[in-house]
């Protein structure tokens, strides 16, 4: 069976981490798409078509890992015109039923491994959700998909089964796709038309299947991968000073240095060539990629740092920093609301409930944050942005912006 892997598009809901395709975010030293490929391989699916954009970032990244045992063809989507247009680029390469999945679908092999097609025209994979208003959901009758409704309003009860993002389709789907009006969500329109005219079945996944739509979903992806693949291993080149403590399942790569009184409590991953400063605490599902510098007196709790991050003293909780960021001493990421309620984040101008009670900041590539900065829960800071010293950041800051909190001199009453 062939599989079409979708790795193009703007991933606008993944801002500020969308400077490259989201499947290239690294966990434990590997891009997410590599976990997807390995999962498909276990399901004996090795004939792949990967759709990417003009930058060819995905193709370039996979060359660094040279995944063996696959027959891979790369297809270009010149403009981000949606999933339907991406799939349309592959139509001449598909001659029999094929799978369609997103590149960051890291558990795809497990989901489809026990697939039994029977006589159905196509199969959609679904999962129960408590927040159907955030997803495309399926209207189902006796196992057959009758309709797909995108982001239904809370008062409109369609079902609680969301579309997971893995589809088994037949080549005649393209005949239906040609009939719908073309726009960014025309795949969903074509799929809705297709299920009305054909016997399309649903396979409901019982296990928790992590998806990657918004930046905070990375924490669920990370936990899934840590629980499944993290090894307890310390490279023999690891250099540590006095009283360094390592507890639990911790991976430490080559040429890592840890200075006096540093503490690492697993599960944690510390990438090669990283430095852990004096009296620093790293704990609870923290992923530190290669060449990071964690300065003295810092606490890092459940953070995802991409490569070449430099921070100093301060607290960093439930936060994500993309490649090349620099953070001044005394910076604090608040990761809990005062009322301990669920945290909301602004995505494309809309306030969205993340469903998380612990969420810090998400920072794009190559941003600079000055000393003694306070970052409020659930805010996003764009790429190549500068945050001035002693600033209080309570709202999202766009890409390539210089942000300073304005201070006014307080006059005493006479």
Rounded distance, CA 262 to CA 130, Å? Answer: 41
- Select from 213, 232, 264 the last residue of a domain: 213
Cis (ω within 30 of 0) for the bond into 16? yes
Instruction: List the CATH number of the domain containing 43.
Output: 3.90.550.10
Alpha carbon 308 to its chain centroid, in Å, reads 19
User: What DSSP assignment string belongs to 12-35?
Assistant: GGGTTS-SS-GGG-EETTEEHHHH
Rounded distance, CA 288 to CA 114, Å? Answer: 35
Determine, yes or no, domain membership for 414. Answer: no
Q: Which residue has the higher pLDDT, 384 or 111?
A: 384
155, 254: one domain: no
Q: Using CA of residue 107, residue 358, residue 395, residue 368, what is the dihedral sign?
A: negative
Rounded distance, CA 282 to CA 263, Å? Answer: 6
Task: Please state the φ and ψ torsions of residue 364, each to the nearest 5 degrees.
Answer: -75, 180
- Report whether 378 contacts 344 (CB < 8 A): yes
- Select from 196, 213, 230 the last residue of a domain: 213
Q: At 144, is the pLDDT very low, low, confident or very high (cuts 50, 70, 90)?
A: confident
Task: Please state the φ and ψ torsions of residue 358, each to the nearest 5 degrees.
Answer: -125, 110
Mean pLDDT within 315-321:
97
- Select from 213, 241, 262 the last residue of a domain: 213
* Per-residue tokens: 92: 């001449």
245, 372: one domain: yes
277, 364: one domain: yes
239, 379: one domain: yes
374, 268: one domain: yes
What are 381-403's pLDDT values in tens digits?
A: 999 999 999 999 999 999 999 99
Give me the pLDDT at residue 334, please.
Answer: 95
203, 315: one domain: no
What are 250-298's pLDDT values in tens digits?
A: 999 999 999 999 999 999 999 999 999 999 999 999 999 999 999 999 9
319 contact partners, CB below 8 Å, separation of at least 6: 303, 304, 333, 335, 360, 361, 362, 363, 375
Q: How many domains does the chain have?
A: 2
Residues of the domain holding 28: 2-213
241, 308: one domain: yes
Determine, yes or no, domain membership for 409. Answer: no
Task: Please state the φ and ψ torsions of residue 247, each to the nearest 5 degrees.
Answer: -125, 145
234, 311: one domain: yes
Q: At 344, is the pLDDT very low, low, confident or very high (cuts 50, 70, 90)?
A: very high
What are the counts of helices (DSSP H) followed by strands (DSSP E) for the chain? Answer: 7, 38
Closest CA to 103 of 12, 160, 25, 217: 25
265, 391: one domain: yes
Rounded distance, CA 98 to CA 113, Å? Answer: 14
pTM of the model: 0.91
Mean pLDDT within 156-178:
88
260, 362: one domain: yes
- Looking up tokens 């430095």 gives 275
Rounded distance, CA 358 to CA 361, Å? Answer: 10
159, 15: one domain: yes
Cis (ω within 30 of 0) for the bond into 267? yes
Determine, yes or no, domain membership for 350. Answer: yes
Hey, what long-range contacts does 322-326 have (CB within 8 A, 24 or more apart)? 322/16, 322/17, 322/19, 322/363, 322/364, 322/365, 322/366, 322/367, 322/383, 323/365, 323/366, 324/365, 324/366, 325/363, 325/365, 325/366, 325/367, 325/368, 325/369, 326/367, 326/368, 326/369
As a whole-number percent, the residues of the chain with pLDDT over 70 amount to: 96
Q: Number of C-alpha atoms within 13 angstroms, CB side, residue 59?
A: 15
Instruction: Tally Cβ neighbours within 10 Å of residue 52.
Output: 25
Give me the pLDDT at residue 304, please.
Answer: 98
Determine, yes or no, domain membership for 413. Answer: no
375, 247: one domain: yes
Determine, yes or no, domain membership for 68. Answer: yes
Instruction: List the CATH number of the domain containing 353.
Output: 2.160.10.10
Beta-ladder partners of 251: 233, 269
């Amino acid at each position: 069976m062939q599989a079409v892997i979708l790795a193009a598009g703007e991933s606008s809901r993944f801002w500020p981490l969308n400077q490259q395709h989201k499947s290239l975010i690294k966990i434990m030293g590997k891009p997410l798409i590599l976990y997807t490929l390995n999962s498909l391989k276990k399901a004996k699916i090795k004939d792949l078509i990967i759709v990417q954009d003009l930058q060819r970032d995905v193709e370039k990244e996979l060359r660094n890992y040279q995944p063996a045992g696959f027959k891979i063809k790369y297809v270009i989507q010149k403009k981000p015109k949606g999933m339907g247009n991406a799939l349309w680029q592959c139509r001449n390469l598909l001659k029999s039923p094929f799978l369609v999945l997103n590149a960051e679908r890291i558990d795809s092999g497990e989901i489809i491994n026990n697939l039994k097609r029977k006589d159905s025209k196509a199969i959609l994979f679904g999962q129960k959700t408590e927040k159907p208003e955030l997803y495309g959901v399926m209207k189902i009758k006796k196992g057959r998909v009758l309709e797909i409704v995108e982001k239904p309003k809370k008062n409109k009860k369609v079902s609680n089964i969301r579309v997971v993002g893995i589809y088994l389709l037949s080549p005649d789907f393209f005949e239906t796709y040609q009939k719908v009006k073309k726009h960014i969500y025309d795949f969903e329109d074509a799929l809705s038309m297709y299920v009305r005219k054909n016997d399309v079945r649903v396979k409901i996944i019982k296990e928790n299947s992590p998806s990657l739509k918004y930046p905070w979903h990375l924490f669920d992806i990370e936990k899934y991968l840590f629980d499944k693949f993290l090894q307890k291993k310390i490279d023999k080149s690891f250099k540590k000073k006095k009283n360094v403590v390592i507890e639990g399942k911790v991976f430490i790569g080559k040429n890592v240095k840890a200075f006096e009184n540093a503490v690492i409590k697993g599960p944690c991953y510390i990438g090669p060539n990283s430095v852990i400063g004096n009296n620093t605490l790293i704990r609870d599902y923290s992923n530190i990629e290669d060449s990071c510098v964690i300065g003295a007196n810092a606490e890092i709790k459940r953070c995802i740092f991409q490569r070449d991050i430099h921070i100093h003293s301060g607290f960093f909780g439930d936060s994500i920093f993309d490649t090349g960021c620099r953070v001044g001493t005394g910076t604090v990421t608040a990761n809990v609301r005062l009322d301990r309620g669920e945290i909301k984040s602004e995505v494309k101008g809309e306030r969205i409930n993340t469903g998380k009670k612990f969420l810090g900041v998400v920072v794009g590539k190559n941003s600079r944050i000055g000393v003694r900065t306070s970052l409020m829960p659930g805010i996003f800071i764009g790429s190549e942005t500068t945050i001035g010293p002693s600033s209080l950041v309570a709202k999202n800051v766009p890409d390539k912006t210089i942000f300073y909190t304005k201070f006014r001199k307080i006059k005493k009453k006479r």
